[in-house]
Structure 1
Amino acid sequence: MATANTPPAPASPLERPGTFKRLYLWTLSLAARPAAQLWLAVVAFVESSFFLIPADVLFVPMALANPRRAYRYALIATAFSTFGGIAGYALGYFAFDALARPVLAFYGKLAAFEALRACAGPDTTLLLLTTSGLAHLPPIKVVTILAGAVHVGLGFFVISCILARGARFFALAFLLRSYGPAIRHFIERRLKLIAFGGASLVILLYFGLKLLTGSGQLLSC
């Protein structure tokens, strides 16, 4: 039985003070390296299955430094984010207990994942793929693994990744190419809120249509 003197459970390595900030700054520093495009591909790939920092952190300063290549960077980020999503899907589909569960536990996302898996059917998971691609809601790595675990069709999964993540990166490329450094503050402070609002609207529209059409349960739990 726990007492007032019982020490708390050890925190995840990523919850220790300063860990996230150091990882963020290291990712940001990659934008100034000669192999920045390669690093963008790597970060976009690993973000979709196990890495904590989103590729946007690297993409934005790269596009600002070279606006003429903004759409090229958006294509790289979209393509490798989709490839990383497929890797996360495979973890959920083929190796959830052996590999995906420890990854989710390491990031402190296992409880959130189990709650989603208990309630989300394949169609709801596709909706979550859209909102996570647009606004990281829920985190991309959680939803890609979930898609594999509930056996969403791979073709639909890939299309949703391309459309949602492509929309995010190409919208950023357009803004950065058109407005340059002046738009950076807006992107860092406001764009996430707008994307969150858009993702919330997609969710509301989805559930509204489900209610109006009476097409089964909203959730499977």
Structure 2
Amino acid sequence: MFHKEGQKIILIAFFLCSVIALIAHFYVGAEWLRVGIQLLAFGALVMVLQFFRNPSRVAPKTFDEILAPADGKVVAIEEVEETEYFKAPRIQVSIFMSPVNVHVTRYPASGQVVYSKYHPGKYLVAWNPKSSTENERTTVVINTPKFGKVGYRQIAGAVARRIVNYAEVGESVQQGEDAGFIKFGSRLDLLLPLDCQVTVKLNQSVVGARTCVATLAQKDDG
């Protein structure tokens, strides 16, 4: 299954790779070179197909957990001063998506979208800390039943130049559902309340709509 954002690119890639393979078949005399060109064309097509894959995932839709909004690796867990919407300290969990990861953005929690804004910007490498505030990005905030307001930020990287965001202010969204897409390498920041308990570690690989990133902090009854 492939994401709808990749349909046009997949068709173009299929056409170009087919043309290259046919040209090589009819006009390249050396067999080793002809086969090599055809294999390269096929390999390029496979790369495009794997980038836009969209595996079907059904999230548990629990109000007690924040799920990973994307596939990738946790590259930062830190307290930051969020200045765009919350204007207060938040726990930021950053997930880096390499070109081989699934690049679908999924809603980390169920609730109502209260903020959704796109910002043009630079294209620093996604693991650069400044990318969170200087790169092209989209910020979304969801008002959830138990965690309060939870934010996430789609961030374009040095290669990614196209952020797709489906979240609209006022709509109710469900945990794990398709929230957008970032094309060709990127980063996603979760902005969590300070009183939640982060359940992932640095350099841990996470799976969108599957891996629990944070839970409600345990209260001390004593």
TM over 0.5: no
**How high is the TM-score relative to the length of structure 1?**
0.27
TM-score, structure 2 normalization: 0.27
Larger Rg, first or second structure (1 or 2): 2
Which has more strand, going by share of residues? 2
